[in-house]
Chains A and B, each alone.
Chain A
Amino acid sequence: MAHAEAAPGGGHDVHDTTTGLSHKKLLMWAFLGSDCMFFGALIATYMVHKNGSLVGPFPEDVFDILTTSTSTFVLLMSSMSMVLAYNALTRGSLRGFRIWLLSTCVLGATFLAFQVFEFNEFVNYHVEIDCVNLNVEKLTDFEKTFIDRCDGTVDHVEIETGLTPRTNLFGTTFFVLTGFHGGHVTIGVIWLLSMYFYSFKKNGITSRHHEEVDVAALYWHFVDVVWIIIFTVIYLFGVFPGFD
């Protein structure tokens, strides 16, 4: 008894479809269009509530642009290795494909590790003020609210404030937005890993059967592009003055 997908357009014979594109690829494009609106709404929420927090910490307190630039670089490189993986596959090098695909997974996982580290830093954020060499000019608005703790009896003030999704509007909108992006990356890593294992199955993925890889790559690049927007709008605009 046969159980291929319904003709026309079933299976991999893209010549049977109206557009010449496979169903799966078209599905992925439709999904990405939908996901644009998803992240658009989350980013819009962040922008609406930007500078709306009544209590700190604020973006300039917690963001470490150097760390996040590094993780951004890692994620962008994963897009490159994804391209190289797909390229190796179409040229017929299954070995090259596996190496680059695994590199993509590792880079993606590294990005996630950065995110876990960063979230942990934010949750355990504490204000530190050097009361001896106090330079009010250099303090952030949030830090200034603690200046009166430098009452002459101490030369160093350290207050555990923390930033969680419950702390203020910034915490709420930041963690949910970047959390959902991290979720997308996680799904991507799992998907690519499953493809790595699948490539060991006989005729699973070959230089002529690379539809699955093509579709997964679309997803992966999209998630990267979303991060570029998040990094610019949330991190860079959040720290550098003039973008409020």
Chain B
Amino acid sequence: MTTLSIPLPKRPTHPTGVWDWVTTIDHKKIGILYGVTAFIMFVTGGIEALVMRAQLASPEAALVSPEVFNQLFTMHATTMIFLGVMPMGAAFFNYIIPLQIGARDVAFPRLNAFSFWTFLAGALILKLSWFMGGAPNAGWFGYAPITGLAYNPGHGIDFWVLSLQVLGIASLAAAFNFVVTIINMRAPGMTLMRMPLFTWMTLITAFLIILAFPVITVALIELLFDRFYETNFFVTTAGANPLLWQHLFWIFGHPEVYILILPAMGIVSEILPTFAKKPLFGYPVIVLSGIIIGFLGWMVWSHHMFTVGLGPVANSVFAITTMAIAVPTGIKIFSWIATMWGGSLIFKTPMLFSIGFIALFIVGGLSGVMHSSAASDAQQQDTYFVVAHLHYVLFGGAIFAIFGGIYYWFPKMFGRFLNERMGQINFWLMFIGMNLTFFPMHFLGLDGMPRRIYTYAEGMGWDFWNIISTVGSFTLALGILVFIVNFIKSVRSGEIAGADPWDGRTLEWSIPSPPPVYNFAQIPIVHDRDAWWAQKREGIPAVPVAGSSEDEHDIHLPQASYWPLVTSIGLFIGAYGLLFTIDIAGISRVPVVAVIGGAITMVGIVAWALEPVNEPDESPEHY
């Protein structure tokens, strides 16, 4: 067979060093790559926020121009959502899920590497726009027609469209991978209702990504065609419906907020029982509530559009579904509180962040229920009240849970503890800073201060709360700084943690810290919901002792590969290249660079498919 005789380089075998990191397909290393990259992006998004807070500290300030301010809030939100919170969630999916379900890797290890490199490509396209003539400036939801060529001729929106498109590919690839991994690679005996809560919430999140991202993909394709090829999707002068984008965007956008918060809920559901020394209260209802949230998340999108005039019937229906979604959320919160009730609480940093999560998420949830009333929302739409709400659920909610997760799983990842004293300082600075920053925004919003304004006049009564908010944001930043110092110090010289430093319940604590490359020397057999806990407490021999019986050289793991990286580089060049066109042989605007990028992607995919695998009768992967 001729095509198979193409001389392909052998699969790379670098045990350490840079080449190891760029060719790795080990889920644990990819998890760390995701985490570090996402955290750097989170810091850049935070800096963008600090510049905005500095600008808004006093009335009529002139630190940045109105145009730059527009770019700042657009980049801040897009960064935090797509480059910060989502990939930090992905970092935990990657590192923790295979360990929690007793697997040696994910279902498609090379696809997993591809997801990470494609995420990095999308992140670079977005972030480099600052240096390429201007960042996007139309808000994270990029409402067309205002993002159309007629109103926004600069390249900022192009970068935004292309980067979200590439990030969408990364998210979809990862979600496919985790759905298959969780459904199909559980250790024997781990039925669905024995799965750890974090795994459950990841599964629901992955389904939401699979179903929600194609919708934003289509919306972005349509906007891209409008901008690059002068089609009419969002051209109102050609008769287009200006609400089309809003509907498509929020059909994606509302499930997206559950994509952000469900993993956080999963993390908290792991931490609380561990530090309360009690089983999770109401495991089945928490699972069911997660599923219901996943369903209802599809039926509430128009509550983002209460003021566009859809009419009383549509507004009432979406108000009711939105109120309904508070029920499963409330059930979860009560279950978490009941988990702590009567427990022997240990107030280590992960626990503090989890309790902080519950408290702050309740505040954000309550203002969310206020928005669900269409009449009330008409007063709050586009004011700082909404900014306060969304930061209580996304910062107080998602980010606090993620920090809790970092403190909780860091000993598993690096074999060392994060410093507890600095952790406590980190928590309190963030908790106080967060409330100082965002609570005053409730007052500002109800006082009528609109979102997305670059400055405000003196004498509006907004001066005091704005300066408080700015002070709070820098307190918050100090808390993050303490975390960074703690992380760097603890990775190198933190207190050594054993395999099971928190007296954990799930399978990841049954193996050494950091885990060996093959995770489980022997695949565990699960007899119980908290399998590792049951083994320790009741002596149910679920988990074979690590390193026993099976010779580790007999464990076959997939080898590293160049091709996921090559495919992602092709996508990066291909997407970027769409902006560079030349006229060749009478054909105008040929995207030469994009064609080159596409060719590199094709080479990557073909080589990926033909890459040698172990067994002679093994057929290559097509994905």
Contacts and interface: CB of A to CB of B under 8 A. Distances in A.
Partners in one complex: yes
A138 interface: no
Interface in B207-260: 210-215, 217-219, 221-222, 225, 229-233, 238-241, 244, 248, 251
A191 B621 CA distance: 12
A176 B214 contact: no
B1 A27 contact: no
A23 B238 contact: no
B238 A169 contact: yes
A24 B523 CA distance: 22
B613 A3 contact: yes
A97 to B, nearest CB: 15
A2 B222 CA distance: 46
Contacts of B213: 34
Nearest to B225: A176
Interface stretch (A48-56, A75-83, A141-149, A153-161): A48-56
A95 interface: no
A4 B213 CA distance: 31
A191 B605 CA distance: 12
A31 interface: yes
Contacts of A31: 176
B218 A45 contact: yes
B619 A204 contact: yes
Given A34-B211, A165-B231, A4 B558 contact: yes
Most B CB contacts (10 A, CB to CB) among A21, A27, A44, A52 go to A27
Interface in A194-224: 197-198, 200-201, 203-205, 209, 211-212, 215
Given A52-B239, A176-B225, A11 B183 contact: no
Given A4-B613, A26-B179, A201 B4 contact: yes
Interface string A29-63: 01101110110111011001100111000000000
Measured as residues with beta carbon below 8 angstroms from the partner, the interface class of chain A is: 35 or more
B537 interface: no
Interface in A165-202: 165-166, 168-169, 171-173, 176, 180, 191, 197-198, 200-201
A6 B614 CA distance: 11
A67 B369 CA distance: 55
B239 A169 contact: yes
Contacts of A26: 107, 179-180, 183-184
Contacts of B211: 33-34, 37
Interface residues of B, number: 64
A172 B231 contact: yes
A41 B618 contact: no
Most B CB contacts (10 A, CB to CB) among A169, A180, A191 go to A169
Contacts of A92: none
Contacts of A204: 1, 619
Given A26-B180, A45-B244, A6 B210 contact: no
B1 A201 contact: yes
B108 A23 contact: yes
B233 A45 contact: yes
The secondary-structure label for the interface of chain B is loop
B231 A176 contact: yes
Given A33-B211, A169-B240, A5 B109 contact: yes
A165 B230 CA distance: 8
Contacts of A176: 221-222, 225, 231, 233
Contacts of B378: none
A40 B476 CA distance: 43
Contact of B103 (A4, A8, A37, A40): A8
A122 B41 CA distance: 47
B11 interface: yes
Interface in B89-111: 103-109
B617 interface: yes
B616 interface: yes
Contacts of B183: 18-19, 26
A9 B184 contact: yes
Contacts of A2: 556-557, 614
Contacts of B176: 27, 30-31, 34
Contacts of A200: 1
B172 A34 contact: yes
A9 B184 CA distance: 8
A12 interface: yes
Contact of B104 (A6, A19, A41, A45): A6
Contacts of A66: none
Contacts of B104: 6-8
A215 B184 CA distance: 16
Contacts of B231: 165-166, 172, 176
A49 B556 contact: no
B556 A7 contact: yes
Contacts of B185: 8-9, 17-18, 23
Contact of B214 (A37, A54, A165): A37
B623 A24 contact: yes
Contacts of B13: 1
A191 B618 contact: no
A12 B218 CA distance: 35
A209 B183 CA distance: 23
B612 interface: yes
Contacts of B221: 176, 180
A166 B228 CA distance: 11
Contacts of B614: 2-4
A200 B531 CA distance: 48
B555 interface: yes
B3 interface: yes
6 contacts: A11-B615, A17-B184, A24-B623, A37-B215, A38-B217, A166-B232
Interface of B: 1, 3-4, 11, 13, 103-109, 172, 175-177, 179-180, 183-186, 190, 210-215, 217-219, 221-222, 225, 229-233, 238-241, 244, 248, 251, 523, 555-559, 612-619, 621-623
Interface of A: 1-12, 17-19, 21, 23-24, 26-27, 30-31, 33-35, 37-38, 40-42, 44-45, 48-49, 52-54, 165-166, 168-169, 171-173, 176, 180, 191, 197-198, 200-201, 203-205, 209, 211-212, 215
Given A54-B238, A212-B622, 6 more contacts: A2-B556, A6-B556, A12-B619, A34-B211, A165-B231, A166-B230
